[in-house]
Amino acid sequence: MVVKSLLRRKARTLLTLFGIAIGVAAIVALGALSNGLVAGYGSLSGGSGADLMVAQEDAVDIVFSAVDEEVGAALEALPGVEQVAGMVYTLASTDGVPYFIVFGYESDRFAIQHFKIVEGEGLEAGSGRQKGRSLLMGRAAADNLEKGVGDTFRLYESVYRIAGIYETGEPIEDGAAVVLLDDAQALAGRPRQVNVYLIKLEDIADAERVRQRIEQRFADLTVTTSSDFVQQQDMLAYMQGFTWGISLLAVVIGGVGVMNTMLMSVFERTHEFGALRALGWRRRRVLGMVLSESLALSGLGGAIGVGVGTAAVWALQSVPAVSGFLIGSFSPALFAQGIGVALILGWVGGAYPAWRASRMTPAEAMRAEGGASPHASQPRAGGSLLRSVLRQPTRALLTVIGVGVAIMAIVSLGALSDGFIAEITDLASMGGAHLVGMEADASMDLSKIDEGIVRRISALPGVQAAEGFLTGYASLGDLPFFVVFGYHPRGRALDDFQIVEGETLTANRQIVLGRVAADNLDKEIGETLRVFDTSFRIVGIYETGVPFEDGGGMVSLRDAQSLFGQPHKISFLSIWLADPNRAGEVRDEVETRFPEVALSLTSDFAEDVTDIQAMQASTWAISLLALLVGGAGMTNTMVMSVFERTREIGVLRALGWRKGRVLWMIMRESVALSLLGGTAGFVTGAAISALLNTIPLMAGFVQTRLSLSLVLQSFATALSLGVVGGLYPAWRATRLQPVEALRYE
């Protein structure tokens, strides 16, 4: 009976399956990617055979950690330490792959030994001088990039020869490359520094004693066991939280779809329930039947979703541009979680419809007119738009919620994205610069340019001045991201930092805090602030109106370079021109002379950055997910509307209504419902955006921004949902013949 009931309305069942499957697919895919990232970070420690890992304390992520090479020798001299190996972990750009993972190891240390060479040869110390730069490439990376032993491979502007192909069994490593430590330091712009030291102990029982000794001797370092390393990475926790948030979004929309479908099933089977109750079925039996149908529908949708999510991850891993860092890790627990969520959706989504069905009395159910709720009003044929939309108020409400959640996601995520882009644009235009630049093809967080290049650019014809500044991140107290800006104390860019208390930056070991940072850290002028192992005296408080800046602090460029292990490096450069109309010519000349630099007009900088493009792509992907599920719900609703009004449509056709008029009637109802949901979603999304702006931690990082284009986009999307969702039901309505429709039960 359950299967027969589900097949009663094949279109409705398929649409509901689609909605559930998309939600579960999102859970499985995002969960696999999150698990893959965790497993990948675990492999950085456990795979090498290290017992302890030493990194910079308060570093936001291992990629930002900087430990001096001198520390390695001191660590190896400690009692109980067998061997110490330095590791550099960074991202580099190559053809078609903006984020390619590169590891740097010493060729004669234990940490590189787990990279098993399956083709070619290993790395040898001194090969960079004798044979040119060489690297080892993971099997997965070699297959995706169609590279083999002896081929050349470009990382930024450096060309390497592939000496060998390795396998480790860890996806994050097999999708990367390994170079000698000094080559990796050059790529990362960290001469004589590593991201982490791996320690192999003589006796693992001495781990706690060695850990305490290291932390007592080096106050700026943190030591973890290999098994605990992943739990210490704050970035992973934030990404996992983001993953759960997106999964919850998909679940909410899917749950609304299940409830909508089961309510429609109950409404159209009112006579059936009345007959069953008259034949002696107890309420519990009716309730169980409806819940069984809901669980069967959700379970099947969950199984399909697991398959779709798995296929999506496999497809992503075959794309060279993202295969290196989007690593999927599947487990029975993850699949069980996907199916479990689907069944919970079925239980929750079917509970109210099942309760409603069980509460019907036989007499009430038998009196209800075909397919309608016994409590629903029956408007006359061709009635007003409002009466048609509210014919089934519960269904209308659920549809509005489904569309509203989709639009809410678009608005809130879009506001965050727009706010961040606006901040990056404001940051780029500081001091009225005409051009702004960074390392070509690099991530914003890892951009590095030699200061000497800035001086040479400032001497070019038409260039009035050129300055560089450096940015870095640290964790301070309860602030997960504290942005440090390093500027020349007398630079032009400081003109945009309005000092509201104290004085501006004049010397090293001084810091000027943004107003938001000062409030969040509860700091005042004259106090000291410790960043990593360096203490700074707070000499002033500034305001710029840019949350990214107001949530951070400004130090001298030399201090910033020392803090983040970037001697003589800058992250970004600003250029002022004698004639702004020659900006394009100057940009082309600079990029020709210095191919490692990419320049943009200040107004275009944010749109040209790879990180921003990736963020926008992610935002659109999440929005598309919400739209797919919301669109399925809209189509489902309108199909049900056509089914239950078959006889009404037959009457209208018999009275002379043309097909176009029937089509317009259905389409305008669909559009009305969608616009109503869009309005509710926009208001909710705007409220969430405003609420985020009141959270102190968010206020110091990014402020959401509702732009006119986002408003238009949200309502255009809602309108499109209504049109697309109503198109098939409207077409189906026009295909009904009057005689056939009037005979419909």
Q: What residue spans define the domains of the chain? A: 1-44+239-376, 58-219, 385-420+609-745, 430-602
Nearest residue to 339 via CA among 626, 7, 25? 25
Q: Is 664 exposed, middle or buried (0-12, 13-18, 19+ CB in 10 A)?
A: middle
Chain centroid offset of residue 311 CA: 19
Cα 27 to Cα 248: distance, rounded to the nearest angstrom: 8
- Closest by Cα among 438, 434, 455 to 597: 438
pLDDT attached to residue 553: 93
Helix (H, G, I), strand (E, B) or coil at 113: helix
CA distances from 558 to 57, 437, 507, 605, 614 (A): 20, 20, 10, 25, 31
* Per-residue confidence (pLDDT) for residue 33, from 0 to 100: 76
Q: Residue 680 forms beta bridges with which residues?
A: none
What is the per-residue pLDDT for 342? Answer: 82
Cα radius of gyration rounded to whole Å, the chain: 31
Largest CA distance in the chain: 97
Cα-based distances in Å from 722 to 20, 205, 249, 405, 638: 20, 66, 20, 15, 10
Q: What is the pLDDT of residue 378?
A: 45
* 281, 284, 285, 288 alpha-carbon torsion, rounded to 10°: 160
pLDDT value of residue 7: 56
φ and ψ at residue 44, rounded to 5 degrees: -65, -25
- Across the chain, which has 745 residues, the per-10-residue mean pLDDT values are 57 73 81 74 69 86 87 91 92 82 90 91 63 85 90 90 91 89 90 90 89 88 74 61 69 68 67 76 82 84 88 78 67 85 79 76 62 46 55 73 82 86 81 89 87 93 92 81 89 86 93 92 92 92 87 93 89 93 92 92 85 77 72 72 74 83 84 88 91 76 83 88 81 76 58
Terminal-residue alpha carbon distance, the chain:
20
Q: How many secondary structure helices (H) and strands (E) does the chain include?
A: 28, 24
Helical axes 10-46 vs 332-359, angle rounded to 10°: 150
Q: What is the pTM of this model?
A: 0.74
Of 327, 307, 391, nearest to 640 by C-alpha is 391
Compute CA 366 distance to the chain's CA centroid, rounded to the nearest angstrom: 52
Residues 629 and 632: their CA atoms lie apart, in Å, by 5
